[in-house]
């Protein structure tokens, strides 16, 4: 996922929605986005944490840890779209070469280092079987992804979604910039959202639903993941609403201040988020062994993702407006976790697996296991960030500055 260093300087450079670090712009960091970024990666890690090492207070939260991915999507859509809007406004065009070069230096080095380790050192794999290497290397692993055929390094599916989205976003910005107004933007966003809803409904109805009716719940769940949860064309909601939020705040700040102040966005965002979570109370057809759970699982698959994305976008909007308040009470550890978030995302599943091999799963129980997993994950992520991420960010900044 992408990475942007949000700072109080409106001209600060952009890197991406994962790790907030930009070597050239680390001065006045904004606390709100760092909080969301840290929350997102911790939720993702919680999903993959062994249940016997999950503290009791987090057991129920763990069921919704997948929300971290949707938070990342909204953040990423907002941050990358803001970068493109700034450039288009300043230069009346989009520098495709610079854009893709920045993304390559940001995403590829750490990703391919971890992928290489998965390939060359099989003992590091969190699952014995992997999807074909070429699908990881081309960022298409999320298409036709059946976890029954190999689940190692499965978190890479979200990177595939983003990289595919950002292949076309700069072109869309260039084509639509100054050509469509607010009504057209909202209409386009609404059309894409409706198309996603109808597509997910059709996939469920034709593929997942038939397996549920036949009582083949395990196959139905795998089909749900392959057809609804992983593909880019069914998971554009978070990136889309992040980009729409960026357009609203960048091009229509007065309207945002008037119609979307925190006193509106906070309660409205919570309503959307709670409604989505109610839809997802029985997420996936494995739980659908009665009429209502099946219907509820379908409701979540069809409507849940846009509801979640709108809710997160509204709450993120409020956090941006309240930065002057949030910034007075920085949360300890947030900056560290946010900075390491991309490396944590890439490595945490393998770290959990290796720690079980070294220490023994029976010795990693309860709060002790939780602390060991967390410390080991942070340590490995810090090594990857320092030796790979940081090194290539420095190199990127030097190359781009010398080409100006």
Digit-coded pLDDT (tens) for 247-296: 999 999 999 999 999 999 999 999 999 999 888 875 544 444 443 345 55
Average pLDDT for 219-226: 90
Average pLDDT for 304-320: 97
| 215 Cβ contact partners less than 8 Å away, ≥ 6 residues apart | none
Digit-coded pLDDT (tens) for 350-367: 999 999 999 999 999 999
The answer to whether the beta carbons of residues 236 and 192 sit under 8 Å apart is yes
pLDDT exceeds cutoff 90 at 17: no
The answer to whether the beta carbons of residues 169 and 81 sit under 8 Å apart is yes
What pLDDT is stored for residue 22 in this prediction?
A: 41
Q: Evaluate if pTM is beyond 0.85.
A: yes
CA distance 229 to 242: 19
Share of the chain above pLDDT 70, in %: 89
What pLDDT is stored for residue 286 in this prediction?
A: 42
Average pLDDT for 131-159: 95
Average pLDDT for 63-91: 94
Average pLDDT for 127-132: 95
What pLDDT is stored for residue 103 in this prediction?
A: 94
- DSSP secondary structure string for all residues of 265-295: HHHHHHHHHHHHHHHTTT-SGGG--SHHHHH
pLDDT exceeds cutoff 90 at 347: yes
Average pLDDT for 143-152: 92
The answer to whether the beta carbons of residues 214 and 265 sit under 8 Å apart is no
pLDDT exceeds cutoff 70 at 310: yes
pLDDT band at 133 (very low <50, low <70, confident <90, very high): very high
23-32, 221-230, 265-274: which is most confident: 265-274
pLDDT exceeds cutoff 60 at 51: yes
């Amino acid at each position: 996922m992408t990475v942007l260093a949000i700072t109080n300087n409106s001209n600060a450079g952009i890197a991406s929605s994962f790790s907030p670090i930009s070597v050239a712009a680390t001065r006045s960091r904004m606390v709100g986005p760092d909080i969301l970024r840290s929350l997102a990666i911790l939720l993702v890690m919680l999903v993959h944490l062994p249940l016997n090492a999950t503290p009791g207070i987090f057991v129920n939260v763990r069921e919704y840890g997948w929300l971290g991915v949707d938070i990342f999507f909204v953040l990423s859509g907002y941050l990358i779209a803001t970068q493109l809007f700034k450039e288009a406004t300043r230069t009346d065009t989009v520098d495709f070469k610079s854009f893709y070069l920045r993304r390559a230096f940001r995403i590829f080095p750490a990703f391919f280092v971890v992928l290489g380790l998965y390939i060359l050192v099989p003992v590091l794999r969190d699952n014995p079987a992997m999807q074909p290497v070429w699908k990881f290397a081309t960022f298409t692993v999320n298409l036709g992804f059946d976890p029954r055929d190999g689940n190692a390094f499965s978190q890479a599916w979200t990177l595939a979604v983003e990289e595919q989205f950002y292949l076309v976003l700069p072109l869309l910005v260039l084509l639509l910039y100054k050509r469509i107004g607010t009504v057209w933007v909202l209409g386009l966003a609404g059309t894409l959202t409706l198309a996603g809803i109808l597509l997910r409904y059709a996939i469920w109805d034709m593929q997942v639903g038939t397996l549920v009716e036949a009582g083949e719940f395990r196959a139905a769940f795998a089909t749900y993941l392959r057809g609804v949860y992983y593909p880019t064309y069914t998971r554009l909601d978070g990136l889309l609403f992040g980009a729409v939020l960026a357009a609203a705040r960048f091009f229509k700040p007065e309207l945002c201040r008037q119609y979307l102040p925190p006193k509106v966005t906070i309660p409205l965002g919570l309503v959307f988020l709670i409604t989505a979570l109610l839809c997802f109370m029985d997420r996936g057809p494995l739980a659908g062994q009665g009429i209502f759970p099946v219907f509820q699982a379908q409701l979540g698959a069809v409507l849940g993702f846009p509801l979640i994305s709108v809710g997160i976008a509204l709450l993120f909007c409020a956090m941006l407006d309240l930065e002057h308040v949030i910034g007075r009470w920085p949360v300890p550890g947030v900056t560290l976790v946010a900075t390491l978030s991309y490396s944590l995302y890439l490595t945490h599943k393998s770290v959990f697996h290796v720690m079980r091999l070294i220490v023994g799963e029976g010795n990693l129980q309860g709060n002790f296991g939780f602390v060991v997993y967390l410390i080991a994950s942070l340590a490995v992520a810090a090594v990857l960030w320092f030796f790979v991420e940081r090194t290539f960010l420095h190199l990127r900044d030097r190359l781009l500055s010398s080409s100006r």
